[in-house]
Amino acid sequence: MTSATESSQQVPIALITGFAPFDGEAINPSLEIAQSLDGETLAGHRIVAAALPTEFARALATLDVHLRHHRPRLVVALGQAGGRSGISLERVAVNLIDARIADNAGEQPVDVRVVHNGPAAYFSTLPIKAMLAALRDADIPAELSQSAGAFVCNQVFYGLMHRLARRRKHVRGGFIHVPYLPRQAEKFPGTASLPLDTMTRALRLCLHVALTTQEDLRYAAGTTH
Ligand code: PCA
């Protein structure tokens, strides 16, 4: 007889992470989206959502717990990027932390590496141009981005890609930034936002493309930053 844990482990897992609210916000759309998708089945994979603390000292250790426990086939980390207007598919993680504000533990590290002696950068291994095409076909605002910043999101993106490159080469991973929810943007007139159901639909599409597309598309998509 297989235990519940053993049988659930036979279904391949796609891990999607979101961050705790930070910078005085009560909510973080990245976590809301991840939790909305938790438990769904997509292209033969079970989606498992995990929350990461918005803290430099604890974010990657928490990610490690989930990587070890779920042994996912795909990892997509999400984060809030207030002010961006669309789903932002990140291309590159840099080996740099340069916090513009304090994290949720009050830490504000400046000009330090994510991984001592690690390479300068890693590229996302998600099929981001195919994902972008799917989002645009669905009329969801989306863009490619060349910079995930230098705060906790970039730290997690870099740390994730470093772990996958060293120990789990067959696992695809990457990072997606999402805009504010409408109720967050109300405080900043003129700031873009997207409803939760639109962003959840967007991430479902992205995961589906990532799980079903081997070779990324090649076309001139344009980028921000
Ligand atoms: N966004 C921050 C960290 C947590 C989050 O959701 C960032 O872009 O670094």
Total domains in the fold of the chain: 1
pTM: 0.95
Q: Would you say residue 4 has pLDDT above 90?
A: no
- Does 221 fall in a domain? no
Using a 10 angstrom Cβ sphere, with 0-12 exposed, 13-18 middle and 19 or more buried, the burial of residue 148 is: buried
- Does 178 fall in a domain? yes
- Does 33 fall in a domain? yes
- Does 217 fall in a domain? no
CATH number, domain containing residue 143:
3.40.630.20
- Does 3 fall in a domain? no
Nearest to 149 by CA among 64, 79, 202: 79
153 lines ligand 1 (CB under 6 A): yes
**pLDDT 10s digits, 139-158:** 999 999 999 999 999 999 99
- Does 19 fall in a domain? yes
- Does 2 fall in a domain? no
The parent domain of residue 110 ranges over 12-212
Res 18: pLDDT:
98
> Measured between alpha carbons, how far is 94 from 200 in angstroms, rounded to an integer?
27
- Does 4 fall in a domain? no
30 lines ligand 1 (CB under 6 A): yes
Residue positions annotated with a catalytic role: 90, 153, 177
Compute, in angstroms, the gap from residue 5 CA to the centroid of ligand 1. Answer: 32
**pLDDT 10s digits, 149-198:** 999 999 999 999 999 999 999 999 999 999 999 999 999 999 999 999 99
Confidence of residue 5 (pLDDT cuts 50, 70, 90): low
Give how far Cα 45 sits from Cα of 6, 14, 58, 99, 122, Å.
Answer: 15, 6, 28, 35, 26
**Mean model confidence pLDDT for the chain:** 95
